[in-house]
Structure 1
């Protein structure tokens, strides 16, 4: 079993323990804040940041305690982030839907629910918790699931970050006519990082699609490298939460200090 398979197995087990009746989740969706236009927020400048609230990861273990995710998200917004990513997977990333609620209540920029989305219910759940963006990992989904989940996200008013790692996954992603694609330099099946994925794959994505560079970004030169490949958005978590000063760390990544 790959790392990705193991994570998904845990996600399904946890989902089974918290699944609500559909009538209840639909009521929560109706009461949730309307989704923001994440695509517009992530197209504001030459380089935009999705800053991540991330306590832990399968590859690095514990990163930072983050006792107040909403306060951290506020710092991200102050530093110029265009969106905030909130991990909601519990076992490997120590995240929760409560973190998502706290962040959404505190910031005015879009919020990405960062999780392994493998069940239709999770998309209803994401909207019920006022997420503006969801993550669709091509390696975790069949072609039909990818299309169905993308269509569902659109129907619910949420943007989708379609994540790929290989040329074959990119080909699958392009079949659904996405508006935003993320190139993850980390192989989720082995957890190895190879930032050459940015140079290999980002130039293959049409200019009209928002191109996001994910993982392996910890310095100003990393950001410049991703931007030179054609990325206009970076998704960064570890470098920010471990810095001790996320505002200065983000400004440094963007070359503003």
Structure 2
């Protein structure tokens, strides 16, 4: 693991501790068998692009966060996911990290059974076992956080997800991390407005970085969405889609929020400032 900062480091320590009993209960050979036997993964990129005219949306089932604590109880994650999908969400993100986000693999199983759009296993993936586990539980996407992985591990996990027919959302926060994602050949690049080292949020920094993503990979804005105006800001910066959790689970009307975010027009990525005529 790359040393990244106290919050992310602490989360990953917990992730590894929680992984140990799961690995002991289900050996890697068995989880690999289940992963390869799972139904084929859905094409997340195609769902996020849609008809190409409006912003894609990854709607997140999110009970809690390290920065805000409890957001919503969500006793039936599959029911919320169904509302998201019915309202136009391109994909569903399910938190499975236990300690800070109160998520479980059972949540992932329940959501997968209920919706027919791609499902992202949102966790802090640092081991091949977790990628196999995601596919075995029906995930179509995994999250790979560049700040948490060295180049060799990032490359190996990205390759494993492709081997299993999944896609990886490769998350970045800085220009250096973006360069690593581009060198990897990532097809889905996320730019997180939240700094995982200290949990501060800077939407302007994220929109600037989004403008540096060249044509080819899909660009996805993550965090800092509280209203349609924030989705508009991501669209203006060239994002093809946004990932939204907190604003949906606290909105009081997630169906309306999903529909309003999905109506935002996609505008295409502008060139970075230095490349503009």
TM-score between the two structures when normalised by the length of structure 2: 0.90
Aligned to 1:136: 144
Worse-matched range after superposition: 84-93 or 200-209:
200-209
1:32 matches 2:44: no
**Which range moves more in the overlay, 80-89 or 23-32?**
23-32
Match of 1:241 in 2: 249
Displacement of 1:255 in angstroms is 4.4
Q: 2:83·2:255 contact (CA, 8 Å) conserved in 1?
A: yes
| Match of residue 156 from structure 1 | 164
Q: How many residues align?
A: 256
Partner of 1:18 in structure 2? 22
1:218–1:253: 8 Å Cα contact kept in structure 2?
Answer: no
Secondary structure of residue in 2 paired with 1:42: helix
Q: How does 1:37-186 map to 2 (within 5 A)?
A: 37-44=43-50, 45=52, 46-186=54-194
1:196-207 map, 5 Å: 196-207=204-215
| Aligned position for 1:251 | 259
**RMSD of aligned residue pairs (Cα, Å):** 1.2
Distance 2:156 2:59 in 1: 27
Matched residues in 2 for 1:75 and 1:197: separation?
A: 32
Distance in 2, matches of 1:187 and 1:33, equals 35
Whole-Å separation in 1 of the counterparts to 2:262 and 2:228: 7
Unaligned runs of 5+ in 2: 265-277
> Residues of 1 paired with 2:157 and 2:201: CA distance?
27
3-state secondary structure, aligned to 1:192: coil
Distance 1:91 1:71 in 2: 23
* TM-score (norm. length: structure 1): 0.97
Equivalent position of 2:7 in the other structure: 3
Answer yes or no: is the 8 Å Cα contact 1:57–1:63 preserved in 2.
yes
Kept after mapping to 2: 8 A contact 1:183/1:197 = no
Distance 1:124 1:252 in 2: 35
Q: Distance in 1 between matches of 2:238 and 2:215?
A: 8
Q: Secondary structure at the match of 2:235?
A: helix
Look up the SS of the partner of 1:218 in the other structure. Answer: coil
1:26: how far off?
A: 2.6
Q: CA deviation at 1:251?
A: 2.0
Contact 2:35-2:164 at 8 Å conserved across structures: no
**Secondary structure in 1 matching 2:256:** helix
